[in-house]
Amino acid sequence: MLEKRTTPSKQSYRKLKMMLPSIIVIFVLMFGGYFIAPGFISLNNISSILMTASLLALMSISQNTVVMAGNNGIDLSIGAIASCTALICPLLPMNNVWLLSIAVLAALMIGVVFGFLNGFFISFVRIPALIMTLITGKVISGVIMVLTRGQPSAHISDLLKSLSGTLIAPIRYITLIVIVIIVVAEILLTRTRPGRTLLLVGDNYNAARISGINVKGVLITSYVIGGAIAGLMGLLIVAYAGSTTLNMAESYTLLSLAAITIGGTSLSGGQGSYVNGALGAVVLIELNSILQALNMEQGMRFVIQGGLLLIIMIFNVRAHKIKT
């Protein structure tokens, strides 16, 4: 069995080193936003930023799991999966906690099915992840149109919408849910055998295969987990928005990729952190909030976000080449 022997102190230092840039940028943007608009650091605005960032952070878990598993992993279908559950699951009754739990389970299972299809065809048929997940995303968009006939659900459960309510300012219920998921996911990644195996496969696919690890099973599992998380995110974005629209989660696909690269995830696999990906999500949402405070039109915001993503990708690739 392959092992990465690092002392706890080195692991802690490495994690802190990966977190520090995002934390610094978060505070810099916060103070910069204050000078642009004094209300930027109000509890209401911070609550809104944390709420939106928590949704992106949840999506970053989905993307991060696939990317860390290596083998040129990427999932361009997670936005479509989230949009699918956002449109289909609200059609289910959610009048009480039990019915809401069934809807959550349905959202997870929809994501699992599409994630398994991605993982199976990528692992066994050897279709490149970029192509396979792009195809899956298009198929899902077609399924959405067929099932909803282009007409999203007009009624959203009050119980579901209540998840966007404030628990303790500036923390809302959705934010707390996502924080718990991130903490649990990070513990599973770093403190359990399956989590370490995921990183080992991502670090060296061939060596892991030779050592006896079921690498195809690990890859499929990463896409299944990614799909399930994306499915859950679709339901939570409806709770946040209070309504449904076609392709409402599509923009989160590339933003999740930007968030995890800001958080230090290696696009070649084998290195990453769910917590750092969440910090990257906060950076992106803060930046977008500042651009909105400057009354910048949406098209220009997309241009800036795209340019930022390009710069991040360049640095990520260069950093990997330096290490190798």
Residue 119 lies in a domain: yes
* 220 lies in some domain: yes
Rounded-to-10 torsion of CA 172, 175, 177, 199: -170
Q: Comparing C-alpha atoms, which of 94, 26, 87, 101 is closest to residue 285?
A: 26
C-alpha atoms less than 13 angstroms from C-alpha of 43 in its C-beta half-sphere: 7
In three-state form (DSSP H/G/I as H, E/B as E, the rest C), the secondary structure along 247-295 is: CCCCCHHHHHHHHHHHCCCCCCCCCCCHHHHHHHHHHHHHHHHHHHHCC
Amino acid present at 218:
V
The pLDDT score that the predictor gives to residue 56 is: 97
Residue 194 maps to a domain: yes
The answer to whether the beta carbons of residues 218 and 51 sit under 8 Å apart is no
Write down the pLDDT at residue 4: 46
The predicted structure's pLDDT at residue 6? 53
The CATH number assigned to the domain holding 72 equals 1.10.3470
Query: Would you state the pLDDT for residue 63?
Result: 96
The reported pLDDT for the residue numbered 236 is: 95
By CB atoms closer than 10 A (0-12, 13-18, 19+), residue 220 is buried
pLDDT average per 10 residues of sequence, the chain (324 residues) = 51 71 88 86 91 96 96 94 92 90 96 97 95 95 82 80 88 95 95 93 91 94 97 95 88 91 87 92 91 83 77 66 53
First to last CA, the chain: 22
In tens, the pLDDT along 2-16 reads: 444 455 556 666 667
Res 182: pLDDT = 97
CA contacts within 13 A on the Cβ side of 247: 9
In a domain, 1, yes or no: no
The pLDDT value recorded for residue 220 is 97
The answer to the question of residue 173 being in a domain is yes
- 293 within some domain: no
Question: What contacts 76, CB < 8 A, 6 or more positions away?
Answer: 130, 133, 134, 137, 253
This prediction's pTM: 0.90
- Range list of β-strands (E), 16-59: none
- Structural domain contains residue 216: yes
Q: Is residue 149 part of a domain?
A: yes
Measured distance CA(93)–CA(91) in Å, rounded:
7
User: Which residues face 168 on adjacent strands?
Assistant: 171
User: Which domain range does residue 138 map to?
Assistant: 52-282+301-319
Q: How many domains does the chain have?
A: 1
82 closest CA partner among 281, 246, 230? 230
pLDDT tens per residue, range 148-203: 776 776 678 899 999 998 888 789 999 999 999 999 999 999 999 999 999 999 99
CA 111 – CA 115 distance, rounded (Å)? 6
